[in-house]
Amino acid sequence: MDLASTSMQHLSVPAALAPEWELLLQRARDGSLPLPELMDRGNFLQNQQLGHAAAALYETWLGVEGHPTANRLVALYNWGTVLGNIQQHQRAEEIYLQALAISPTFAQARLNLGHQLEHQQRIEEALAAWRGVYDHEGPMEALGADLVGLRTHAFNNAARLLELQRRYEESEALMVRSLTLKPDQTDVMQHYVHIRQKQCKWPVYQPFGEVTHNALLLATSLLATLSATDDPALQMGAAQRFVYEKVTKPKEAPLWRHPASVAARQQGGKIRIGYLSGDLCMHAVGLLTAELYALHDREKFEIHAFCWSREDGTPLRRRLLQSFDKVWRINAMDDTTAAKVIAQAGIDVLVDLQGLTSGARPNILAYRPAPVQVSYLGLPATSLLPGVDWIIADRFVMPPEYLAYCSEKPIFLPHCYQVSDRQREVGATPTRAQYQLPDDAFVFCSFNNNHKMNGEMFGAWMRILAGVPGSVLWLLADNEWAKGNLQREAQAAGVDPARLIFAPRVAPPDYLARFTLPDLVLDTFPYNAGTTASDCLWMGTPILTRSGRSYISRMCGSLLTAVGLPDLITFSVEEYVERAIQIGLNPGRARSYKRYLRDEGRQSELFNMPQIVRDIEREFEQLALAHRA
């Protein structure tokens, strides 16, 4: 029986390749196609986007008896790789298992088997496959490849998957083992630093073996750097390293200058604004911008989304998609194709909502698909991306001394840089008892993500608790390791760990509703609250912040200025601690802030969304028309 027959019943190749294809199949069937040529033509077919043909060719070749075992092993491995590339993960799994039946210690087959299992959401089996490589004792079949590299590959994939599963301690342990085996892995060091931040495992920069403190500093991602320092020069350096190492540098002319793109814009008509994001779903960016898109003036503007966001099935996701005039799903496109689609759509202003955050696609911007490209919200810092010209800001988040550390030119909004959603759903008002909060105590609170915390700020919080007898601190219980580490830090600071009360994650409406319970929210530094600050102020609870030298360390101060509570902005840790203790010892002061926010907050400039959108549109219109002229 011809093993390739079922694969090829509906298989077609371009007419120009048909004669060669038929000859290849015939030679595969009669056993006259040597392995090197099989591999070469298989690669050719894949490069022509004919992966199914490549898979059928391997299947046909392997259906012939008499090939040497070593050759069959290589062909099985390559066939499995092709099947994985065309998303046939279950079939790829079967083929890798056939290869492992021939050679149980075949390292690459076991590594790739793990990937196919992960694609099928069989997490424990994937981890076991990789464990079979990094914990294997004795020699392994590696087809001449570097076995150390294969072991680190297994360590790193297992660590990555464990991190995604929020099994941080296990993930960190595997990163340490990987770096011990091969210390010069910058990407692994980057994740090692950030996973310690997520666990509140201080000091974050913990050297070991040949991994030095300086190496960890140099490897730190921009996101982790934002939590570690408010020094804009260090933040700029972290962005610069990423851009140098990861972002493409196109040699051709910007795509927006190509004739098709120019012609689309020269048709005149409405100005086309495109929003570029993978976070148009249940995510902080999606939550903040939900009202923005719908409020755009449709008489003047046409609003496009270019998104690769996950389909999370939430009402927010549906609402976001319905707010655009056109949604372009670019999940399956490579960056070059996506950039060409944006250029051909004639976009005047492309707004990047992602920056260099997780899941970003900065190479799209590098191809310059729009004449005006703007950074907004996703990355509250300079990105150093050569394709991004502007950043939306206000004069609080970007004081004059910060401009030297920003590659983008600022678009200054008159009041506050941040949009928000006035239609956010709020759950039923809870009681303190529901969250194990004492009725008669002053309740401080911080619902910022654990990676935004650091030893200095937590030490300040412990001094605040010590200065306000009977007070408690209500924190987000992001993971069990962070909770345990914070309790130990409190004990070491002489504060009863029982005064730390941990809140579980809840649905967004219930999360908003519980902001009515604390007396005062304490902001983190240098990574200020953004969405969280908007949420607590919308719900009528004051937040105390410390503002520093960087954009991200001044976000909350911008919101407090716009809402009319500048006296809740401090500029040093000493002032921050002193102000918090003053308010904690005078609960009436906290109640007066709440009354102000109840009576005036939602009518303030912070939440005047129609005006903020008009301010953004005015700037975009000027920039777009300047390029259309």
Q: Which domain holds residue 300?
A: 255-388
pLDDT tens string 47-62? 999 999 999 999 999 9
Separation CA 546–CA 538 (nearest Å): 20
DSSP state of 523: -
3-state secondary structure 124-172: HHHHHHHHHHHCCCCCCECCCCCHHHHHHHHHHHHHHHHHHCCCHHHHH
Can you name the residues that pair with 329 across neighbouring β-strands? 307
Note whether residue 414 is domain-resident: no
| 259 and 172 inside one domain | no
Give the total number of structural domains in the chain.
3
57 and 173 fall within a common domain? yes
Residue carrying the six token digits 């086309």 = 272
Interatomic CA distance for residues 205 and 189, integer angstroms: 10
227: number of Cβ within 10 Å: 25
For residue 470, tell me if it sits in a domain. yes
pLDDT at 260: 86
Task: Assess if residue 305 is contained within a domain.
Answer: yes
Q: What tens digit of pLDDT does each residue of 432-447 get?
A: 999 999 999 999 999 9
CB 376 within 8 A of CB 353: yes
Question: Same domain for 271 and 339?
Answer: yes
Domain membership flag for residue 512: yes
Instruction: Tell how far CA 63 is from the center of its chain.
Output: 44
Map residue 66 onto helix, strand or coil.
coil
Q: What is the pLDDT of residue 358?
A: 87
Separation of alpha carbons 441 and 66, rounded Å: 81
Low-confidence spans in the chain with pLDDT less than 50: 1-9
Say if residue 52 is in the same domain as residue 120.
yes
Residue 17 has what pLDDT?
86
Q: Is residue 228 part of a domain?
A: no
335 within some domain: yes
Pair (120, 33) in one structural domain: yes
- Which string of b and e fits 463-493 if b means at least 16 CB within 10 Å? bbbeebeebbbbbbebbebbbebbbebbeee
Based on the fold, state whether residues 15 and 125 are members of the same structural domain: yes
Last residue of a domain, one of 195, 230, 265: 195
Residue 219's CB is within 10 A of a number of other CB atoms, namely: 21
Distance CA 414, CA 434 (A): 41
Considering the domain architecture, whether residues 317 and 174 belong to the same structural domain is answered as no
Query: What residue type is assigned to position 374 of the chain?
Result: V
Nearest to 91 by CA among 49, 130, 59, 129: 59
What 161-165 contacts at long range (C-beta under 8 Å, 24+ apart), as own/partner pairs, is 161/118, 161/123, 161/126, 161/127, 162/127, 163/191, 163/195, 165/123
Q: What is the pLDDT of residue 5?
A: 37
Task: Assess whether the previous peptide bond of 203 is cis (omega < 30° from 0).
Answer: yes
What pLDDT is stored for residue 12 in this prediction? 75
**What is the tens place of the pLDDT at every residue in 378-416?**
999 999 999 999 999 999 999 999 999 999 999 999 999
pLDDT of residue 4: 38
On whether the CB atoms of residues 560 and 545 are closer than 8 A, the answer is yes
* pLDDT score for 16: 84
Q: Whole-model pTM?
A: 0.91
Q: How far is residue 391's CA from residue 351's CA, in Å, rounded to a whole number?
A: 9
For the chain, what is the mean pLDDT?
Answer: 95
Nearest to 111 by CA among 91, 92, 126: 126
Residues 456 and 375 in one domain: no
CATH code assigned at 181: 1.25.40.10
Q: What is the 3-state secondary structure (H, E, C) of 406-438?
A: CCCEEEECCCCCCCCCCCCCCCCCCCHHHHCCC
Check residue 373 and give its pLDDT.
99
Do residue 140 and residue 288 come from a single domain? no
* CATH number assigned to the domain comprising residue 314: 3.40.50.11380
User: Which residue, 195, 210, 228, sits at the end of a domain?
Assistant: 195
Residue 320 lies in a domain: yes
Taking the C-alpha atoms of residue 76 and residue 108, their distance in angstroms, rounded to an integer, is: 12
Residues 575 and 458 placed together within one structural domain of the fold: yes
Whether 178 and 295 map to the same domain: the answer is no
Q: What CATH code is carried by the domain that includes residue 525?
A: 3.40.50.2000
Q: Same structural domain for residues 182 and 319?
A: no
Token couple for 428:
């039923």
Which pLDDT score is estimated for 6? 36
Tally of CB atoms within 10 A around 459: 16
